[in-house]
Structure 1
Amino acid sequence: MTEAATVVEIRRFPVKSLLGERLTAVDVEYRGLSDDRRWAVRDPDGKLGSGKNTRRFRRMPGLLDLRGRSAVPVPIVELPDGRVFPVDDPTGHAAVGAALGRQVTIAPEVDVPHHDEGPVSLITTAALGRLAELTGEPVEPARFRANLLVDVPGTGFPEDDWLGRDLRVGADLVLRPQARQTRCVMIDQPQGDLPEHGALLRTVAEHHGMTFGLWATVVRPGQVAVGDPLVVLPAGRRES
């Protein structure tokens, strides 16, 4: 027997670690959502702007005050004062650097994907419901910056059971969950209209091993749209 759920939100982040955009539909390639996190803010040493410090990433406070939006031929960055710049405009780089208080550029992905862990990230309404029970207040899905929000009845972490099982989304797209997604301080930080939270990361750490949601690879590309059914295929059944 299969399990069914529904895609209720799609989010894309044209520039990694900036605010992004909600979509009604998007093509999904082997790399992930079309143009998702294709560009990134970079320090002069090449590290990517992020909410954390690692071998690849450098923590840059203020990134979530900026927004990346899709445009042709390249995305644009919107600053808090309303100014907008194409991501390949050196004047925009200087303006973003001034907003962040550091020298930066904005560069496209070359060899190594900009994703933290994998091509497509997803969370469920059931898991958000469980966090609401634990924290005593509703939890906005935007805090987790996932590509897909999937409506699943009830509360808990049903997506944990999707590991090792293919997901058929809409008519063509097939995803293969690989691991639970590790979380960092960004889920607590203010972003857009959301104020600082302060308790989410601690709650996720105490009750779910510092993880929330899944990341998946793309087995078969296709389009995903809000309202598409997501079918969890039986264990052992592989799509191609």
Structure 2
Amino acid sequence: MDAVLGTVERIWRYPVKSTGGEAVEESAVDPRGLVGDRLYAVRDAEGKFGSGKSTRRFRRMPGLLQLRSRYPGGAVTALPELLDPDGAPVPDPTAFLRHHLRRTDVELSRESDISHFDQLPLSLLATATLDWIRGALPEVPTDERRFRPNLLVRTPPGTPPFVEDTWLGRTARIGESLQIRFERASERCVMTNEAQPGLPHSPAVLRTIATAHDLRLDALATVVRPGRVRAGDPVRLADA
């Protein structure tokens, strides 16, 4: 019998890159990842995408995490809604973004030939790791939204923190048909510290990860066989 790593506790999709996302009960998964995940981004006049950091492809745009995005009625075929810091939908996302970010050169852009991803298609985080961080920082409100996983995996009692390291290089089945391969961990940046609704700014988050685990947190995966993922699905090693 395949070894069970845990069960899918929550599924997170982020329609607009670097904004807060939406928790969904299930999602189709294709080689790109959760269908509709980070399909849109905030793009500036130089073609860089809004992010929590500045790189060759990305532009740091403080304030994006104060917003959320969702697909109306869960329909990925529709343009996502952008929600203001109070959780209300905005009628004109681009106009709102220009006012909110105080930039006149930004617009909401759908992915075309340049990927919006700066990581691999899927990010999985174990509750054992999340619980350890909460214990290490009892004074800092923390939940998985700081780390933006696609799948929060409920691991068995007694599972050590950073168990995701033991998954790397392995293949896993999720639910009935989805198959993924764990490739590497994310190297975290200042985005973990940033404020978002219900989570205050705290530089202690990144410092703690740096000291305890060399800035690495989660398991990034590629999609071996597309399928569907549902809350409650078991996550099993397929190569045990």
TM-score, normalised via structure 2 length: 0.90
Aligned to 2:131: 129
Residue 78 (structure 1) shift: 1.8
Counterparts of 1:38 and 1:125 in 2: how far apart (Å)?
Answer: 27
Counterparts of 2:124 and 2:78 in 1: how far apart (Å)?
Answer: 28
Residue 230 (structure 1) shift: 0.2
Consecutive unaligned residues of structure 2, counting only runs of 5 or more, are: none
Counterparts of 1:136 and 1:20 in 2: how far apart (Å)?
Answer: 25
Counterparts of 1:151 and 1:197 in 2: how far apart (Å)?
Answer: 25
Counterparts of 2:2 and 2:190 in 1: how far apart (Å)?
Answer: 35
Aligned to 1:84: 90
Question: Aligned pair 1:150/2:153, yes or no?
Answer: yes
Matching residue's letter, 2:35 = S
Contact 2:175 2:228 in 1 (8 A): yes
1:162-201 mapped onto 2 (5 Å cutoff): 162-201=167-206
CA deviations 1:5-42 (Å, max 9, x no partner) are 10001000000001110001110011000100000001
Consecutive unaligned residues of structure 1, counting only runs of 5 or more, are: 86-90, 236-240
Counterparts of 2:181 and 2:196 in 1: how far apart (Å)?
Answer: 30
Aligned residues with identical type, % of pairs: 46
CA deviations 1:97-150 (Å, max 9, x no partner) are 111111201111112321221101110001112223332457311111110000
Counterparts of 2:236 and 2:101 in 1: how far apart (Å)?
Answer: 42
Matching residue's letter, 1:191 = Q
Aligned to 1:21: 22
Among candidates 231, 234, 237, match of residue 232 of structure 1 = 237
CA deviations 1:153-191 (Å, max 9, x no partner) are 233111111111101000000011111111111111111
Aligned to 1:203: 208
Contact 1:79 1:96 in 2 (8 A): no
TM-score, normalised via structure 1 length: 0.90
CA deviations 1:49-92 (Å, max 9, x no partner) are 0111111111111101211111352111122363423xxxxx43
Counterparts of 1:70 and 1:21 in 2: how far apart (Å)?
Answer: 8
- Report how many residues are paired: 230
Counterparts of 1:50 and 1:140 in 2: how far apart (Å)?
Answer: 20
